[in-house]
Structure 1
Amino acid sequence: MLRLRKQLDLFANFRPVFAFPELVGASTLKREAIEGVDLVVLRELTSDIYFGTPRGRTIDAEGQRSAFNTMRYSEAEIARVLRAGFEAARKRRKQLCSVDKANVLETSVLWREVANEVARDYPDVALRHEYVDAAAMHLIRRPRDFDVIVTGNIFGDILSDAAAMLTGSIGMLPSASLNGEGRGLFEPVHGSAPDIAGKDMANPLASILSAAMLLRHSLKLEAEAVLVERAVRQVLAEGYRTGDIMEAGANRLGTDSMGDAVVRAILALKGK
């Protein structure tokens, strides 16, 4: 996956986090904290510590093992993902939170400098900065404060998984990894879940919602994307759940049956 992202230059990883009203009870957090949550985590995807060099392992003369990785960002890499974030914020509530660790890391000092510079081109979007540790606490305590979060590769990886709990399950989070021309890779945030492969247990809704993002971002088929999203909400409203979002009184389905339920909902909504 890392090689695929790099070769296709999929630098902008959009991870929408939407608290479906039908799933408020599935979250481990209080209802009053998560109702109305609608935010996007934009994770830079082709640089940072996952790609920085040098990296490796060594053994010293006394046989002690060491390992090292390099966190590295260029000005251009930071600027382009920040611009993608500002453009996204313009289409939403015009609020952007840039997350870094500028009190410790030189890469984050540069990140913050570039964020302030890019912000001059977007006077209509409110920019604020947060350290990643404070942002993690803020995300769980007052998630409605966020609109668009833009951050680096490793911080975005961690924060978006934490944000999954706002939706009740990581099985609900889609993602779109885009290059500068709008072409991309669309996948659920949770990856392939090999531990439950073939067991008819996985929640397919994140994959289905990722397909909706493909329709919207790469194919420019907004009406079709909305139709898929409405169908997902419809099956949730009808009380269908996979095991990861199961609630008392709901109807538990496997992977295949949940997918079939969404197809039926799409056909029904399309016929109206």
Structure 2
Amino acid sequence: MSPDASCLAFGIPLPDSSLHTCLSSDSVLLAAVGGPKWDAVPSEKRPERGLLKPRSAMELYTNIRPARMFADLSAACPLRADIAAAGIDFVVVRELIGGVYFGKHTTEERNGEQVATDIMAYSEHEIRRIAHVAFQMAQKRRKRVTSVDKANVLDTSRLWRKTVCAVAEEYPNVEPRHMYVDNAAMQIVRDPSQFDVIVTENLFGDILSDEAGQINGSIGMIPSSSMGDGSRGLYEPIHGSAPDIAGQDKANPIGTILSAAMMLRYNFGMAEEADAVEAAVETVLHTGYRCGDIMDQGGTLVGCREMGQRIRELI
């Protein structure tokens, strides 16, 4: 049961029965959740909390979000044509079960006013394990890792940088560099071609990967995988639930379809099948079919169902 459906049926974002199903599965494919109807609901009862619970229970500490622009969508890129022409192909490796999202959250009254506190905490082992994922991934790509932090301000970031530096020594064939998060946000839109693998903590990774998704033409195109030490994983598009177009056959299904391709590749070792799914997406885009979020001049506008059907027919 989805967190949205669970909130409506039981008033909680994820019942134990659904969590048990996740834990007993080889892999989980998750849709976007949430909406304005829950804006006034306490945070522990919002559908978004249903995302955090399986991530923690399944110990999925690595979130991988590829930022790759399909050549046929270059016109949809909001950046200047010369920047888009240089190419966008990097991966954001985000720590997923630590940091402020999983810290202590309190709201209390002090001196006659409400005061809210969110605790961000990281330990060395949490940083070390995500750094190893990033460096190992870079070894299979272009051998560059950019670690993003705010070490000029935050103690957690100073520990992050120190630990990443130590891990980097184990990978002499990979070039490490460090970048403050505000500069990274700027560099992603100024020159995305400079990046290969970006590794960062939970909050920064959430924001930067959404930015990276948008410069590829639409956030509706971007898949993600969440992995731990075992073979089990959770896969989902990075976009939100888009309640303003719900039920109108306008949503872009490609992010979810490419998430399923990542599941085939990473969870089940089915590289050939994953290639077939990704090739079908590329072919449909090359043919000119577009959902509303990636529509361009000369394209053929189709809805969610037709886009999914056309991709399926080519697999």
Q: Same fold by TM (over 0.5)?
A: yes
User: Counterpart of 1:14 in structure 2: which amino acid?
Assistant: I
Q: Secondary structure at the match of 1:127?
A: strand
Q: Secondary structure at the match of 1:215?
A: helix
The Cα offsets for residues 90-140 of structure 1, whole Å up to 9 and x where unpaired, read as: 110010000000000000000000001111111111100000000110111
Partner of 2:125: 76
Rounded Cα–Cα distance in structure 2 between residues aligned with 1:164 and 1:193: 15
How many pairs align?
264
Query: Any stretches of 5+ residues in structure 2 without a counterpart?
Result: 1-50
Q: Secondary structure at the match of 2:230?
A: coil
Give the C-alpha shift of residue 221 in structure 1. Answer: 0.7
User: Counterpart of 2:102 in structure 1: which amino acid?
Assistant: F
Partner of 2:291: 242
User: Counterpart of 2:175 in structure 1: which amino acid?
Assistant: A
Partner of 1:22: 72
| Aligned 1:121-270 pairs, distance under 5 A | 121-266=170-315
User: Counterpart of 1:40 in structure 2: which amino acid?
Assistant: V
Partner of 1:48: 99
Rounded Cα–Cα distance in structure 2 between residues aligned with 1:174 and 1:217: 13
The Cα offsets for residues 16-44 of structure 1, whole Å up to 9 and x where unpaired, read as: 00011100001111122123211000110
Partner of 2:46: none
Q: Secondary structure at the match of 1:177?
A: strand
Selected match of 1:108 from 145, 153, 157: 157
Rounded Cα–Cα distance in structure 2 between residues aligned with 1:263 and 1:161: 27
Rounded Cα–Cα distance in structure 2 between residues aligned with 1:106 and 1:134: 18
Rounded Cα–Cα distance in structure 1 between residues aligned with 2:243 and 2:199: 29
The Cα offsets for residues 154-205 of structure 1, whole Å up to 9 and x where unpaired, read as: 0000001111122110001000000111321000001433442221111000
Please say if 1:92 is aligned against 2:141.
yes
Partner of 2:47: none
Rounded Cα–Cα distance in structure 2 between residues aligned with 1:249 and 1:166: 21
Partner of 2:63: 13
User: Counterpart of 1:98 in structure 2: which amino acid?
Assistant: S
After TM superposition, where is structure 1 displaced by more than 2 Å over at least 4 residues in a row?
Answer: 191-197
Q: Secondary structure at the match of 1:160?
A: helix
Partner of 1:39: 90
Q: TM-score, normalised by structure 2?
A: 0.82
Q: CA RMSD in A?
A: 0.9
Selected match of 1:3 from 49, 53, 63: 53
Q: Secondary structure at the match of 1:207?
A: helix
Identity %: 50
Rounded Cα–Cα distance in structure 1 between residues aligned with 2:288 and 2:158: 48
Q: TM-score, normalised by structure 1?
A: 0.95
The Cα offsets for residues 231-264 of structure 1, whole Å up to 9 and x where unpaired, read as: 0000000000000000111100100000001011
Indicate the larger mover: 187-196 or 3-12: 187-196
User: Counterpart of 2:264 in structure 1: which amino acid?
Assistant: L
Give the C-alpha shift of residue 208 in structure 1. Answer: 0.4
The Cα offsets for residues 31-84 of structure 1, whole Å up to 9 and x where unpaired, read as: 22123211000110000000112x2101124x2111010110000000000000
Rounded Cα–Cα distance in structure 1 between residues aligned with 2:230 and 2:89: 26
